[in-house]
């Protein structure tokens, strides 16, 4: 399978690789700036062949980034990516084959694996939620509950798992929550302030049915129905009557997502997709090349 350049809007891959290596190699620290183990144990001209594989069933994300880590240390390394991003594979599947300088492989190994394990863990959990939701009329969303510095990558992994992204940050939509309402005085006033400031997308969180009409009257463009049980969600959807999209949030897990998605909401958002996804079990085994 041919490899393609990896790019995400707002994400600097070269900077990410540089900073990750600098952290692992101890750039700028006394005695740092090198892989002391590989330099002392592995001959400079030694060569390895390697296979990255899945130990569990996973949905794959991050292989092009892993490739970039290896190529940063040996641009001519032979690398073959064997599966597509977003592809679900069974345990024991080979994901990548590579061969080249042994020191370069060993130095890049942990950074590459950490990234693929983390992103594939997110994509795998997302795919499980999408499958459990089993509702083509409802879209699964992530949240801003991401590890600082990794938001673009984690939200990319969410897309590879089959869900969509909520806001990318604080800049691209207003999200009016209880603390904003507390200062403004009520839901309607909070929404009006955002509308009067010229904000086009205004998502308003409501946790009671009597907040729906004031939010809509003031100009909310989407309602986030927070911590509502399925019967209440159905009532809320009926009140909104298609005037704006609706989103269910809070108390959503693998056991509850199907029932909440079936209430007629347009979206379901789950913070743990990025906040709590376990790393995928992915290994990388090397063989010396004579």
pLDDT at 6: 84
Q: How many CB atoms lie within 10 A of CB 100?
A: 21
Q: What are phi and psi of 140, to 5 degrees?
A: -80, 135
Q: Which two tokens stand for residue 274?
A: 């990025």
Residue with tokens 């997110």: 122
pLDDT truncated to tens, each residue of the chain (290 aa)?
A: 545 678 899 999 999 999 999 999 999 999 899 999 999 999 999 999 999 999 999 999 999 999 999 999 999 999 999 999 999 999 999 999 999 999 999 999 999 999 999 999 999 999 999 999 999 999 999 999 999 999 999 999 999 999 999 999 999 999 999 999 999 999 999 999 999 999 999 999 999 999 999 999 999 999 999 999 999 999 999 999 999 999 999 999 999 999 999 999 999 999 999 999 999 999 999 999 97
Helices 102-133 & 151-160 angle (0-180, nearest 10): 60
Strand bridging mode 94-101 / 47-54: antiparallel
pLDDT at 19: 97
Contact in structure between 262 and 230 (CB atoms under 8 Å): yes
CA distance 138 to 286: 44
Residue with tokens 């130095």: 107
Q: What is the separation, in whole angstroms, between the first and last Cα of the chain? A: 26
Assessment of whether the complete model's pTM goes beyond 0.85:
yes
Say how far residue 266 (Cα) sits from the centre of its chain.
Answer: 20
Q: Which two tokens stand for residue 290?
A: 């004579």
pLDDT at 7: 86
pLDDT at 290: 76
Instruction: For the chain, give the longest Cα–Cα distance.
Output: 74
pLDDT at 2: 43
Length of the chain in terms of residues written: 290
């Amino acid at each position: 399978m041919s490899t393609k350049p990896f790019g995400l809007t707002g994400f600097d891959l070269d900077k990410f690789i540089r900073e990750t290596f600098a952290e692992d190699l101890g750039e700028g620290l006394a005695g740092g700036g090198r892989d002391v183990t590989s330099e002392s144990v592995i001959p400079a001209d030694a060569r390895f062949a390697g296979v990255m594989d899945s130990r569990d069933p996973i949905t794959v994300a991050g292989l092009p980034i892993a490739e970039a880590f290896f190529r940063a240390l040996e641009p001519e390394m032979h690398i073959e990516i064997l599966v597509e991003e977003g592809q679900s594979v069974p345990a024991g599947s080979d994901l990548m084959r590579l061969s080249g300088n042994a020191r370069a492989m060993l130095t890049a190994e942990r950074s590459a694996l950490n990234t693929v394990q983390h992103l594939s863990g997110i994509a795998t959990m997302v795919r499980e939620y999408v499958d459990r939701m089993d509702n083509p009329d409802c879209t699964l969303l992530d949240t801003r509950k991401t590890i600082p510095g990794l938001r673009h990558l984690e939200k990319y992994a969410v897309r590879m798992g089959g869900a969509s992204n909520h806001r990318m940050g604080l800049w691209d939509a207003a999200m009016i929550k209880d603390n904003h309402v507390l200062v403004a005085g009520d839901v309607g006033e909070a929404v009006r302030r955002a509308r009067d400031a010229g904000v086009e997308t205004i998502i308003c969180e409501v946790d009671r049915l009597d907040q729906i009409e004031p939010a809509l009257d003031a100009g909310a463009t989407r309602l986030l129905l927070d911590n509502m049980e399925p019967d209440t969600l159905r009532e809320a959807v009926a009140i909104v009557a298609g005037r704006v999209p609706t989103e269910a949030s809070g108390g959503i897990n693998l056991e509850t997502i199907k029932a909440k998605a079936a209430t007629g909401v347009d979206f379901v958002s789950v913070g743990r997709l990025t906040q709590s996804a376990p790393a995928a079990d992915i290994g990388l085994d090397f063989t010396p090349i004579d």
